[in-house]
Structure 1
Amino acid sequence: MAAALPNDRLGFLLSFRGELTGARIRAALGVAGLHPRSVMTLMQLAPGAMSQRDLAAAMEVDPSQLVAMLNELEDQGLAERRRDPADRRRHIVEITETGAAALERVDTAVNAAERELFGGLTDAEQVLLRSLLDRVVVDPADHDCGAG
């Protein structure tokens, strides 16, 4: 039996296309000089202020990692933290006007990148692709694998 070619292996194909897609999206994020995690943080904050704890949970990151990310965003004037007047132990995080403007530039660049990447797909095909990708198991803990 002959070995399968890389394009015949769905995992290899998805990995290769994922690397190319990731590079294109990172280039789009570069218009604002931001790292993907910084953009994700600003995207979470765009709808409105939230507690630092809720932000960490929404982003699925350790609170200590979030502190480092927020320090960087604050240093750049893109987000700010303040104590919650109702509970001084709690920090409220919000995007600044400068952060919102940077996010708008990123959004425009990502929209252009996605038009290039997915322009050959109909709207229905894009919905199907999203649905299929949502079903791909990337964390073995999320999948029972018949054990137990």
Structure 2
Amino acid sequence: MAAQDGVTQEPAGSPASPGDPDHRLGFLLAYHGGITETVIRKALATTGLTPRKTMTLLQLADGPVTQKALIERLDVDPSVLVALLNDLEGDDLVRRRRDPADRRRHIVEITSEGNSRLRKSDVALDTVERELFADLSERELTTLRRLLDKLRTSPEDFSCTEA
């Protein structure tokens, strides 16, 4: 440890001390996540989409999906999905239809306008990600993805969220 002006400093790469905000990885992740979300929202605003609408269109990009499958993939309440699909359908970005095999189910599919808007959002997100990850190598990006996949971020994972 090097002393500078009577203050002890940790060498580069050392773990942060408990009094240092960087010591709290959850806060650090939330801080960077908040900034990233703001930048993504601004970039997507140029396409007329929100992150949630973009994520929904991404789920539909490979073909039609049942409304129930979308609820599971997006991990949202059914009422939230209905409101989201109402907005997307109103903008002619998705289409809902009854499943001919089971009239109780709805099939959701992306429209050509939805595909066009999704391509624009991809360009906007590519720009954000290029800037956001500019200082990371491909190997570091692969490691980051692997580590993020290991995070327990489902509400069911946390006992402190139960009332």
Give the TM-score taking structure 1 as reference length.
Answer: 0.88
Q: Trace 1:42-121 onto structure 2 (pairs within 5 A).
A: 42-121=57-136
How far, CA to CA, are the matches of 2:149 and 2:105 in structure 1?
34
Per mean C-alpha deviation after superposition, the further-off stretch among 12-21 and 64-73 is 12-21
Report SS of the residue matched to 1:88.
Answer: strand
Structure 1 unmatched runs, 5+: none
**Amino acid aligned to 2:157:** D
Report SS of the residue matched to 2:46.
Answer: helix
The answer for the alignment partner of 2:41 in structure 1 is 26
State the aligned residue count: 144
Report the CA distance between 1:131 and its aligned residue: 1.3
Report SS of the residue matched to 1:89.
Answer: strand
Structure 2 unmatched runs, 5+: 1-16
Report SS of the residue matched to 1:92.
Answer: strand
Report SS of the residue matched to 1:121.
Answer: coil
**Could you report, residue by residue, the CA deviation over 1:66-97 in whole angstroms, capped at 9, with x for unpaired residues?**
11111010000100101122222221110000
How far, CA to CA, are the matches of 1:10 and 1:142 in structure 2?
17
How far, CA to CA, are the matches of 2:158 and 2:105 in structure 1?
35
Give the TM-score taking structure 2 as reference length.
Answer: 0.80
How far, CA to CA, are the matches of 1:139 and 1:52 in structure 2?
21
How far, CA to CA, are the matches of 1:15 and 1:59 in structure 2?
20
The answer for the alignment partner of 1:134 in structure 2 is 149
How far, CA to CA, are the matches of 2:26 and 2:91 in structure 1?
38
**Amino acid aligned to 1:137:** R
Q: Percent identity?
A: 50
Report the CA distance between 1:139 and its aligned residue: 4.1
**Amino acid aligned to 1:15:** A
**Could you report, residue by residue, the CA deviation over 1:79-134 in whole angstroms, capped at 9, with x for unpaired residues?**
01011222222211100000000000000110110000001100000011111122
How far, CA to CA, are the matches of 2:150 and 2:53 in structure 1?
26
Q: Name the Cα RMSD after superposition.
A: 2.0
